[in-house]
Amino acid sequence: MRTLVSPGALRSRRGKAVYGVIFACTLAVFVLAFMFPLYWVITGAMKSPQELAQTPATLIPHEWHPETFGEAWDQLSLGKYFLNTLIVAGGAWLAQLAIDVPAAFALSKLRPKFGNVVLGLMLATLMLPATALLVPTYVTVTDLPLLHLNLINSPTAVWLPAAANAFNIYLLKRFFDQIPDELIEAARIDGAGPVRTLWRIILPISRPILAVVSILAVVTAWKDFIWPLLVFPDTEKQTLSVMLQRVAIDMPLNVLVAGMVLASLPMVALFLAFQRQILAGLTAGAVKG
């Protein structure tokens, strides 16, 4: 593909040399800026506490202590906090799929009366900066209107607000809009009702967008900090991020760093496994060029 630099210039001997230098420099900068910090953190976790406090820091650990990861797991009760985070993120994911998919389908294919008003009211919430609703949503969650339930310390305090996601509905609706009506017509002639059509016809062909929405949901919930910080005052119920931040000052540095590495692993693994969907979600999240 033709880009800024012309192919002719690249073919010349001088062009090749310049390209080589630029490539090497870029590679070096990227390794230094993005790979090296990860190396530093992973090896830092395996240094002894004395070595970690030493000035200047050592590039390669003199002694290796991989057992620190096990200590961190026990001392920080990581098992419990992983489970908490998994419940919070998994539930947020399920709630978003279960609530937003049928809604987007109804708005896209059933086109009910006032559907456009509903969609408009949902999309209008995108105009609010997330934090503008922080305080009133917190107040709402402590005492749900009409029901008078207090969701503090319950994962539903994360699940339900996460489902009120206009962006998901927008993404899903845009995808459903592209599914030809003939397909639905065919299902109808075969005797399928709307719910069955959604389940049997629409969902299977919507896998790409469902993957994007799913990954966005899980990653957002896993990375979120301020909302879980507010709604889980009970230290036993907290997510990994909130717990790490809370114990950061009292923990020995090597244990804390090992905990940080372990807490990041699932997201890094997810990224390596689903790169394509994640990057597709990224551009879907912005605008079509």
Partner 1 sequence: MSSPRSSSLLAWPATSSSRARRPAASPAERRRVRLRRKLKENLTAYGLLCAALLVFAMFSWYPIVRGVLLSFQQVDFVNAPTWVGFDNFSRLFDDPLFGVAWRNTLLFTGLALVFGFAVPFLTAVLLNEIRHAKAFFRLAVYLPVMLPPVVTALMWKWFYDPGPGLFNSALGAVGLPGGQWLDSSTTAMLSLVFVSTWANMGSTTLIYLAALGTIPGELYEAAELDGAGMWQRLRHVTFPQTRFVLLVLLLLQIVATMQVFTEPYVMTGGGPDDSTVTVLLLLYRYAFVYNDFGSASAMSLLLFIALGVFSAWYVRLTRKADQS
**Residue ranges in 38-67 that form contacts with partner 1 under rule CB under 8 A:** 38, 40-41, 44, 52-57
Closest approach, Cβ 248 to partner 1, in A, equals 6
Q: Rank residues 33 and 204 by Cβ distance to partner 1 and give the closer one.
A: 33
Among the listed residues 222, 231, 232, 277, the single contact to partner 1 using CB under 8 A:
222
Closest approach, Cβ 177 to partner 1, in A, equals 10
Closest approach, Cβ 96 to partner 1, in A, equals 10
Q: Footprint of partner 1 on residues 104-163 (CB under 8 A)?
A: 105-107, 110-113, 115, 118, 121-123, 125-142, 144-145, 160-161, 163
Among the listed residues 15, 90, 194, 208, the single contact to partner 1 using CB under 8 A:
194
Closest approach, Cβ 221 to partner 1, in A, equals 11
d(CA 188, CA 181): 10
State yes or no: residue 28 binds partner 1 (CB under 8 A): no
Q: Footprint of partner 1 on residues 247-286 (CB under 8 A)?
A: 248, 253, 256-257, 260, 263-264, 267-268, 270-271, 275, 278-279, 282-283, 286
State yes or no: residue 188 binds partner 1 (CB under 8 A): yes
Closest approach, Cβ 263 to partner 1, in A, equals 6
Among the listed residues 87, 94, 164, 179, the single contact to partner 1 using CB under 8 A:
164
